Every structure is written in C-alpha cells, then in structure tokens.
Amino acid sequence: MGPPKVQVNSNIISDAPKERRKSKTDKEKKRQRKSKPHGPGGELRSSFITQGASGSSIHPGGGAIIVKPRRPSRENSFSSTGSSEGNDDGDEKDAPTRLDPSLIHQAHGAHRHNSLKNRSSASGGGAADSSSSLGCRCMLAYNVSTMERDGTCVQWSNSCFAEGEHCKAYKGRYIGGPNNGKPCVVKRLKRQSESKPPNQFLRDIEIAEIGQNFAKEFNALPEVKSGRTVQFTVPVLLQVESPSKFGDFSFGDYITAEDFFPGKFEKYVNNAGLLLYAGTLSSFCHFTYHKSKGNMLIVDIQGVMTAGSYLLTDPSLHSKKQCQYGDLDHGMNGIYNFFTTHECTGICRRFNQPRIPENILEQRKRIIENKQDDFDRAGAGSVWSHG
C-alpha cells in the first residue's frame, strides 16, 4: 500500500483532512472577534489577512475583502476638521458641541493679551511668558474692550479708584494701538443711558476736542511759548468685548478710555468759575471766550502739572445757549461767574470780556467769595487723583 493521499484546498492553509476541522458557529466567531484587540481604522481581526499593494485587505486564499472604517468615538470628534464626509447616516449626536460665544470673546481677548505681552517681553530681551495660567488670570481678572481702527484696545481691572458726578474711573492699560503698553483711565457711566452710544460720552469727547483745538492756538501765542503749554486728552469711545467674571461689566457696555497722568491731580478752575490760583490756566479760559467771540467758555480745568505743560482732562463748557453741552452748561450765568473772580494776566489783558452790570457783578462777587474759601480749603480736591 502506498502513502495516504493528502487533500489540497487552495483556500485553507492546512494539511489536515477536511473532516477533522470543526466548523465554528456564528456566535463563537463573533465572540472571538470581540476578544481580540484591533488597530485603528477598522483593520481586520484575523491573522490570515494581509495587506495588498493597493491598500485593500487580501485573504491568502484570494479575493479582496472590503472593510468599512470604524466611526471615530465622541471624544475624538472634537479633533476632527468638521467635515461631514463619510457620515452616511447623517447622525448629529456625534457632532462637536458648539462653544458659548462669551467664552470665545474671552479666549480671544486673553490670547490677544498674551501675544502682545510675549512680543513686548521678547523685544526687551526678557523671556516670553508662554504659560497658559497667565491667559486664564487675564481672562478672569480683567475686562477687555473692542478694538478701534488704529488698533486701540484696553484692558482694565474691576475696582473703581475714583468717581465724579456722572462717571466711575478704573485703572487700565492700552494693549494695542499707538499707546500700546501705556497706562490709561477707563470711565463708565453711573447710570445706564437709553441712548446708544450714550450722549454723555459723546458730549465729553466733543468738549475735549474743542478744548484741545483751543489749546493748540493758545500754545502758539508768544507769551505762552516760554511757559507751560496746555494739553487736553481726548477720550476714545469703546465697548466691552470680554467682561471679567468677577466684575459687573456686561458685553457691549459703552466705556471711554483716556491717558493716565501720574502725579498730583488738581482742579485749577471749577465749573462755577472758582480759581485755585490765577495764572496760565485762568488766562486760557479767558482765551476760549475771546477766540469764540463770546459764544463759549471752557471751564472745569483739572489735571496734572509737569515741568513744561499742563496735562488736562474732562473739561466742561458754558455757552450762550444754556445746556447746549449738557447739564453742566450753565449758559451766560456760568460765564458771568467766571469773569466775576477772574484777574487778567499779561497773556489775556488784551482779550475781550463780557460787560457785566455793576449790580449783578457785586451780587455775584459776594456769593462766589463765600464759596471760594471752601474751594481753597479743598485745594486739588483729589477726587480724580491719578497718583
């Protein structure tokens, strides 16, 4: 007898006879597939599968086996590019969750602050702070404004350091624009305004621009060039872009930002025409009346005195038409009050001034002299002290 014949089957890698192989049920095959580890992308779980040259899975016995890739899990869906290709059933439950818009604003403001801070520290030779904790502290502890066309943008703290009749003041810093890195003062209204933007802020900006235009002409006078010049800061109107979680600012609130003046802050001429002392600033007020041909008078002169100039902010204005520039515009009564106590200097002696009847002049002098004592005792007032 010859040797036993061996059955050959091209689809099975085995020399064993066919009758000795036990067929597995569907349940056993399913359980075996679950128990074995598998790689990403839906690879086959059988050791008999090899990879073909074209990328398809090839069974050793021949014929390509098409395997559909496994759908990414929920936690991986956030790292996807957002493309909906390959999602045959169109389920939306695996789609990434949409972020809260307020968080987007805050993250944008924190990123902008960190990038500016890193650039400035790197240019100064210091090591850039790339830690994410700084961004979190900035996002939570500070408010960030919108950005103007010239790039002006500010951030400020939640603690009010001073307040006036209409506004509260907060210390801040420019984080963009021409004054990037410099300190600033952010102001907000005590009472919300129905107008958008608030008329109070629009008037303050208009009066500051008028005062600065007068100051440029005043500084050009020969008598002033040798002394201290006058300069007004003009506020910038902004809105809250990223409110701090610890403050009471809201997204979209209107604010103004202006330069911060270090030093002793004083009120030199108040809104009623009372003078801290006669001198250049009193002559400047007289100049505004003369230059406007008696139509207006700049008062409420306050700010910081430096070696070569007066840095001023937040002036008021009296006009012929009372309340044309807000409730601090006292009209001709305010103009008369100023000239009741004003003493002309060599700068303004040739300027025009209103003719006040004698009886009105004496009456106003008695009233103002009583208030002058209180004003002299108050001195600088320091309610807006920048020091």
Is position 266 within any domain?
A: yes
Residues 6+ apart with CB under 8 A from 261: 233, 303, 304, 311, 313, 386
Are residues 301 and 255 both part of a single domain? Answer: no
The residue ranking higher by pLDDT, 384 or 283, is 283
**Distance in angstroms (rounded) separating the CA atoms of residues 223 and 280:** 10
Query: Which range, of 127-141, 235-249, 301-315, 356-370, averages the lowest pLDDT?
Result: 127-141
Is position 110 within any domain?
A: no
- Per the structure, the complete domain to which residue 334 belongs is given by 261-377
Is position 279 within any domain?
A: yes
Are residues 371 and 265 both part of a single domain? Answer: yes
Are residues 248 and 288 both part of a single domain? Answer: no
pLDDT (tens digit per residue) in 111-143:
444 444 444 444 444 444 433 444 444 445 899
pTM, 2 dp: 0.62
pLDDT (tens digit per residue) in 34-74:
666 555 444 444 444 444 444 444 445 444 445 455 554 44
The residue ranking higher by pLDDT, 283 or 59, is 283
Is position 23 within any domain?
A: no
Are residues 286 and 348 both part of a single domain? Answer: yes
Residues 6+ apart with CB under 8 A from 125: none
Identify which of 345, 119, 376, 104 has the alpha carbon closest to the alpha carbon of residue 266: 376
Is the per-residue pLDDT at 200 higher than 70? yes
- Please state the domain count of the chain: 2
**Distance in angstroms (rounded) separating the CA atoms of residues 72 and 302:** 66
- In this prediction, residue 364 carries a pLDDT of 77
What φ, ψ does residue 78 adopt, rounded to 5°?
-75, -20
- In this prediction, residue 56 carries a pLDDT of 46
Chain Cα centroid distance, residue 69: 47
- In this prediction, residue 303 carries a pLDDT of 94
Rounding to the nearest 10 degrees, give the CA dihedral for residues 295, 299, 303, 304. 90
Cβ-based burial of 326 (10 A; exposed 0-12, middle 13-18, buried ≥19)? middle
